[in-house]
Amino acid sequence: MAFLSVNNVSVSSSSSGGTSSAKVLLWSALVPYAAGALVSFNGALYEAVSDVPAGVIPSVEAATPATPGSPRYRKLTSGNTAPEEYLSTKPYYDGQVVRYKGVLYRLDGPVSAAGTLPSSGAPWTVFGDGIGMSEFEAQELTNANLSSVNVGLSSCELRQRMSEPNRIKQHRLRFITNAAPPGVGAALATFTFPTPLKSGRPPLILIAGETSLASSANFAAEPVISGSDITGYRIWNGQDALAASTTYDVCVRIDELHA
């Protein structure tokens, strides 16, 4: 993860088109900047096109100038900040990276108002996490993504463990069979991804039992394919039959990029 180093740097001159060595200043809300000043704001580099009074936020002014068509800042390079924990009480600006529910997000827009939660949609972009989660894998799942539940199940739903969100990358399911459970090889349920995987390459789907009765032999999964899109996955009763009136807890892990 690279950040802008605030030293003497070579930049294109807005007047001559050449390059010159100029000092980059860390932007401060308390300081006015003269025309031609270079400021670093959230790791990005901005040039003051004209004199700018104190308190004018570079990312906002560059994207949505107070005088339409005449921005007082122009953005020269992109950048980002070091990650910080997301706080719902503060606004965020272009280039800021926050950690929310274990995932890193970067704001790729001029401003996000306080209380606007990070998501995998604009203006937020999934920036990564500690285990290499892709944007596809970071999508959150809900019970609304479940369908085609076998009639031999009295319940099939996502289950929460502490505050850990259920994501495509890793999520937990609970199956409760009724008196006439699904047979071996029967489809138990279908999960539809919020956004399809468009790589055309099926992801790796692993299922691990989390109760004494649940084992990998009880369950199997296969991707659901529509054209070149992977739209979800279907989970099956594997080679071992499910017992009647029994609870099975499983953890499903999906890897988009695998060897």
Looking at residue 3, its pLDDT comes to 40
Looking at residue 72, its pLDDT comes to 97
- Cα separation of 140 and 193, whole Å? 9
What average pLDDT is seen over the chain? 84
The H or E element that residue 60 is part of is: helix 58-63
* Domains by residue range for the chain, with CATH: 8-77 (no CATH), 84-128 (2.10.10.90), 143-255 (no CATH)
Looking at residue 68, its pLDDT comes to 94
3-class secondary structure, 144: helix
- Cα separation of 206 and 4, whole Å? 40
43 — alpha (psi -120 to 50), left (phi > 0) or beta?
left
- Cα separation of 238 and 8, whole Å? 64
Low-confidence ranges of the chain (pLDDT < 50): 1-21, 130-131, 259
Could you tell me which residues come within 8 angstroms of residue 86 by beta carbon, excluding any fewer than 6 positions away? 98, 99, 100, 105, 117, 118
Looking at residue 22, its pLDDT comes to 60
Q: Tell me the pLDDT tens digit for each residue of 46-62.
A: 999 999 999 999 999 99
Looking at residue 146, its pLDDT comes to 96
Contact status, residue 107 vs residue 92, Cβ threshold 8 Å = yes
Looking at residue 128, its pLDDT comes to 58
Could you tell me which residues come within 8 angstroms of residue 190 by beta carbon, excluding any fewer than 6 positions away? 146, 147, 148, 224, 232, 233, 234, 235
Q: Tell me the pLDDT tens digit for each residue of 92-128.
A: 999 898 888 777 788 888 999 999 888 766 788 876 5
